[in-house]
Every structure is written in C-alpha cells, then in structure tokens.
Chain A
Amino acid sequence: MATRMSTSLRSPSRGLSARIASVGGVVLALLLAGCSGSDSPETPVTSTDPSATSAEPSPTPAEPVTIDVWIADFASAEDMQGLIDRYTAEVAPHVTINYTHLPWQGIDEKVNVAAAGGTFPDLLGASAFQLAPLAVDGLLAPVDEYLAEPDYDFADVPAELQPLGEVDGTPYIFMVGVDTQVLMINRTLFRDAGVAGLIPDETDRSWSRDNFVEAVEAISELPDTYGLGMWDVSPLHDKFLDSFIYNDGDQYTSEGNAEFTFNSSGNVEKYQWLVDVATSEASLPGMTGTTAQNVLDTFMQGNVGVMSHNEGWYGVIQAAIKDGTAAPDLDVMLVHYPTADGSPGAVNAYPRGLVIKDQDDTARQEAAADFAQWLTSGQDEGVNDVLLKKNIPVRASLVDGVPYDELKAINGMQEKVIRPVYAIPDYPQFRAIWFAIRQPLFAPNPPYDAEEALRRFEAEASPLLDRG
C-alpha cells in the first residue's frame, strides 16, 4: 500500500489536474476581466457640455455633487435616463446622477435593507406603502418648503389628493400621480355561476357586502375559477393593504399611530369588507411577486370573478381584449367596493412620487430635492410628456383602445377619495385579518390569535357600524 501511495503521490490524477488548471485559468481570466471592467459605468449619467446648456449660467459655479436615484416604473428606464441626461446637461451640470431602475420583483427587500444598512438613496421613487414606514423611521426629509416655492405648480393636484403625500400632517412626497383602487368584475362568470342578478347596478355601480360575498362564493364553486383576486395578499404588503380601510380623510389611528382605533363608519365599512373577504369561502389565486402579475393574468384568462386593483390594470385588461389575448368571453365592468346598505362605497387612492433622504449632507439633499422638483413641478412640458404627471388614470391612458367612458367612471368614483393609512407599527386586529386572508396561501399558521383579534374588532366596530 505504501509503495502504491508513493507512486500515486508522484503521479496525481492528470484528468483532475488538467481540469483544475483549465478551470483555474478561466477563473483567473474572469478575475482580471471583472476587476478591470467593474468600475467603468456602462451608461453615461451626466453631461457637462456647456454648449448643450439652455439654462442661464449660474453666477457662482456650484460645487460638483453626486446623488443616487432609485426609481421603479414612473417611466421606462430609457425614458428616465433621457430625462436625467437632459437635466444634468441643461439644468444642473454640476450634478451627477447615478440612476438605478429598480425592478419590482423584490423592491421591498432592496429598499428596506438599504434603509437598515445605511445606503438609502438620495432620491427614491416611492409609493404609499413605502412612504409611511420610511418617514416614521426618520429617513425622509419633509418637502413642504419645496412644494411651497413659487415655481412649484401644485394646482393640478386636486386639493383632496394633496394630503395623500402626508404622514402625520407633514408632506414627504413630490407627487407624480395617484393610483386609484377599484373592483373589476367578470360578468360572464356571474352569469355562469347563476348570480347574474348580483351584478352591481350599471348606473351607480354599487352593491351590498352580502351580495358581494354571495357572488364570490358562488363563482368559487365553478371549476378552475377563483371567486376573488386580491392584490397585496402577500407577506410584505400589510402596510399597503391598510389603504383599503382608510376612508374620507378620517383618522383611524390614535395619536402617534401606535394604536388602531375605529372612529368613522367609512373605515369600519371597508374594514368589515376585509373581514368578509377573510371569512368568506371565496377562493383566491396566490400572489407571486410584488406585482401579482399572475392574478392579473388569471383574471384576463377569464378565471377570476372579482378583482381588486388599480386603474392601470384595467388599462392592461382593455389592451388584452383589444389584441385578442384575453379570454374571448371576458366581460369586464368597474364597480365600487361593496357597502352594508348597498350605497356607493368609497374609492381608495394612494400616491406615487419621489421622496428625498433626510441627511446631513445638505448639498446632496438639495440636489435631490431640486431634481425631484424639476421632475414633478409641471413646468417642463418635456417632463410632463414622459411622466404624464399628475394624470390620475396615467397608466390606463398609456394603452391604446381604452374606453374612456370607463376611465371617466373611475374619475367620478374618485370624488370620494381616501387617504392611505400611515405608520402603524403593530395592530393585531388588522394583522389578524390579513393573515386570515393569506393563511390558505402561505404556511405556516399566523403567529397571531386571529379569532381574538376579530372578536376585538367586532366589539370596537359595532357601535360605529350603526350609522343611525
């Protein structure tokens, strides 16, 4: 054995050596390639050509400043890069913008880890569900002073929408637009399930909660069909789902947002609807990813009876109907969220826009705020063309063939606009319902006592449900 081993020591496996050597060579080459290429930006993020500048020269050249900007989907990456190039060439040549076009898949993890890890960007394209926690954690700078400047045009944001960008009365967002939550129903499935009589009235599009529950449960009985498609039924979106139950500008949290309270019939109404959703026998498709694309696809294939989402999805559905990729018998109608007495329910809306990081480096903070102002002030038609700023059915209008009567219906609904709920650190009642909704979809069982929370909710909400 010793002799054989000595031989083996002198002549190790040639195959392995050759393989290790070849792999090592590849790795070395890659190492060199990675090191040499990793620091050269692929996309030019600034232009400092003075000849390209149309703005008047500044009396004193500003100090160069670099800011990090993360945005998802206000415009395509190319269009947003085009705006950035124009801004850094024409308006602020001293500013360099490192732009990251965020993919939606995993956006919460990206933002939250950056917030916790100290690499939060100077400017972030945000939505309601990101706004509140970030503001409460002290990461965001108030923007009231910027919005109050004379060249900032807030006139095209309806007054009732302006509070959408506030947390505890302080504005934190340069609004780009507002998303409106609506219900979309597939009338074909109502007819197939024998509940055509429960289709909301076409004149005011309203229905009762009892009718809603009966309809979604009946549709759930159809083969390969879901009664209800819900956005935000995911572990990460509890803050976002709050917006379903915040009505007519009413507060439903105590001072400091520490405790959940019920202080208006409107928010109780919507909350009760969530209880209906959680306790009904309606089937729901699970949500995959941040965008719940599979819920939308399932609806467009004609397999979801009632779906809750924003007007942007309605536009996508109309486009699919137009190009023939939706189910041939898909018969979509926009309706109100149901109420106890069948009167038209409130419509939810939440803002989208830009938030800036609160930081000691005032130059960076100012540069970020200036860029956000330029994008959202409404003063630059070129910007407006790209962002369709403050155009409420913004994404729907991007799609050719959208029936604009339907969009007008959305706008009509939006007269009863609501604010999203902000900054509720923990509120067992809501979580109970949320987990009850997602429980069939996500194991393990919820860590909350759902029944106890529901009992507490009923006790608190009952007096408010009696509107007299």
Chain B
Amino acid sequence: MDRRQIATAKRAFAWAPLALVVVAALASLAPVYWMLMNSFQPNTATRTSPPAFYPTQFTLENFTYLFGETPVLRWLGNSLFVSLVSASFVVYLSALAAFPLAKRRLPGARLLFWIALVFMVVPREVYLVPLFIEMRNLHLTDNLWGLILPAVAWPFGVFLMRQFISTVPSELFEAAQIDGASSVRMFHQILLPVVKPAVGALAVFAFVHSWNDYIWQLIMISSPNKRTLPLGVATLSEELFTNYGYVLAAASFGALPLLVIFVFFQRFFTSGLTVGAVKG
C-alpha cells in the first residue's frame, strides 16, 4: 500500500464516524419526518401499501378538525400547567435536597442518597395503587394538582443535582461561610448560579417526564376539561379505527412545546448530560 492509498484510507476512516452519526440521526429523525408529513395528509394516505416516504396528498383537514372539533388548546394548557409547575418544583426541591447531601456534614447523608437511588429503580406499578389512594385521601383525584404533587419528589432529580453539586469546589461555600452567609443564602446566591447547567438539564428532563406521564394522567383524570394533551390525543383513537391523520396532527402540535423547551434550554441540557462524567 503506497502513501497515497494510506492517506485515502485515513480520510475514509476519519469520515466513518461522521457517516455513522448521519445515519443514526436520519434513523432518529425518520419517525419525526413521518409524523410531520402525515399530519398534512388525509388518513387514507397515511396507510398506503407499500408505505410512501414522501407526501402524495396535502390537506389541512387534520388540523382543522383538531382546532375546530377538539379542545386541543385546553389540553395543551393543562399539559403546560402541569409540566411547568412540576418541573419548577422538581428543580428547586431536588437542588434543595442535593445541597446538604453533597456539601454539608449531614448524619446519614450517604444512606439517604442511597435510599433515593433505590427509589429510582422501583417500578411504577409497585406504588401505583397506594399513591392513588393517597391522592384520593387528599381529594386530589381528577385534579391537576394530583398530577403535580407526586412528581415533585423525583429521586432522579436529587441524583442528578447531587452529582453535579459534588463537582463544585467546597471552597466557594467555605468562603461564603467566612463572610457570614447563611445556608439559605448560599443555596440561592452561590449554588444555584453555579449549577445552572444542571438546573437547565433537570428542568428539561422533569418537563418531559411530566409531559409524557400518560398512565398516571389517565388514572387520575376523568373530566374532559382536565385532560392533558397525551390524554386528549388518546381519545382520538377508537377501538377499531384510528384516524392517523388526526392523531399525527395532534402529536405534531404536542411536540412543539417540547421543541421550544429543548431549544431554550439546549445549552444547559447538553452540559447536563455530562454531569458526573468527569471527576474534578
């Protein structure tokens, strides 16, 4: 193999990872493309055989139905309310719980942290009924707060924040303590600004987690006016027939807030993904 061949092989090898990423990205985007494309097609065009990978008919009928015949804006409002409030609580309470676990001398801190970790792996089905009974006793069934409150104590949030806070130099807090700052002040004025990437990432995680929690929403909510977007979309499918045009239009519309949230917090989100990856 001469030098030119080696150089060519090296270039090809250098491009290989990029090609792999492009293929993976296209594979990931394919369902999104299919959803968007078919949301602008009549139902019959969504189910052709063999499947079409490009639009053959264009219609706004799906969106006309969605906005004209369903309370989709109310569904959206309910979902936004639940997810934004849940995410706000999750971020604040997780940071609040993680701070002493990571930076304060708290008896049993390690045990508490492990307890939180254990709850991360407990399947939802295990506590579905007890949690529902608890919500019923609090008179929170068929109430949007019944969707919010169980979500605010999220073990994963404590885990994520604790890992990130552990990487923050302890000297920051020692210096603040010397200056006479209280723990509350340290939390709000030192810790939170420093852990912005983790806050952003956790906010996105918590928002999406709450947004997509279909089964809990289904179990808790019965009134039509309190349905969230996932519940509303589910009602568009009948037992024997699904109008995919309607469903995909609703799914496309429902994806918009997630897209906006992600774009808004993207910088923090990508930083947050590397939390704990480097020990420093």
How far, in angstroms, from A57 to B62 measured CA to CA in the complex?
A: 45
Residues of B234-264 at the interface with A, using a CB-CB cut-off of 8 Å, are: 234-235, 237-242
State whether the Cβ of B44 lies closer than 8 Å to any Cβ in chain A.
Answer: yes
Chain A residues within an 8 Å CB radius of B80: 30
Decide: A6 and B239 in contact? CB cutoff 8 A: no
Cβ-defined partner of A100 (8 Å) among B181, B222, B239: B222
Query: Is A436 at the interface (CB under 8 A from chain B)?
Result: no
Given contacts A9-B176, A16-B193, A119-B136, contact A325 B47 (CB under 8 A): yes
CB-based contact B224/A43 at 8 Å: yes
Among the 9-residue stretches B18-26, B30-38, B106-114, B127-135, the one with 4 or more Cβ atoms under 8 Å from chain A is B127-135
Task: Name the B residues within 8 Å of A9 (CB-CB).
Answer: 176, 179, 181, 185, 189-190
Q: Is the CB of B234 within 8 A of A103?
A: yes
Interface size class of A (residues with CB under 8 A): 35 or more
Interface residues on B, range: 35 or more
In the complex, the answer to whether B219 meets A313 with C-beta atoms within 8 Å is no
Asked if B144 is at the interface of the complex by the 8 Å CB criterion, the answer is: yes
Nearest Cβ in chain A — how far from B66, in angstroms? Answer: 15
Residues of B within 8 A of A77 (CB): 235
B218 A109 Cβ-Cβ under 8 A: yes
Q: How far is the CA of A305 from the CA of B196 in the complex (A)?
A: 56
Q: Does A8 make an interface contact (CB < 8 A)?
A: yes
Q: Is the CB of A38 within 8 A of B224?
A: no
Known pairs A110-B218, A312-B240, A325-B44; A16 contacts B196 (CB<8 A)? yes
A104 to chain B, nearest CB (A): 5
- Complex: chain A residue closest to B238, CB-CB: A73
CB-based contact B240/A315 at 8 Å: yes
In the docked arrangement, what's the CA distance between A395 and B80, Å? 37
A33 and B78 CA atoms in complex are apart in Å by: 10
User: A201: CB under 8 A from chain B?
Assistant: no
Q: Which residues of A contact B144 (CB under 8 A)?
A: 34, 38
Q: Which A residues touch B132, using CB under 8 A?
A: 113, 116-117, 119
A316 and B143 form a contact (CB under 8 A): no
Interface bits A380-418 vs B (CB < 8 Å: 1, else 0) = 000000000000000100000000000000000000000
In angstroms, how far is the closest chain A Cβ from the Cβ of B108?
30
Query: Which one of B48, B128, B141 lies within 8 Å of A119 (CB-CB)?
Result: B141
| A8-22, CB < 8 A from B | 8-9, 12-13, 16, 20
Q: Is B138 an interface residue (CB 8 A)?
A: no
B225 CB contacts on chain A under 8 angstroms: 37-38, 40-43
Q: Does chain A have a CB within 8 A of B162?
A: no
Q: Which of B9-17, B81-89, B270-278 contacts A (4 or more CB under 8 A)?
A: B81-89
Q: B60 within 8 Å of A by Cβ?
A: no
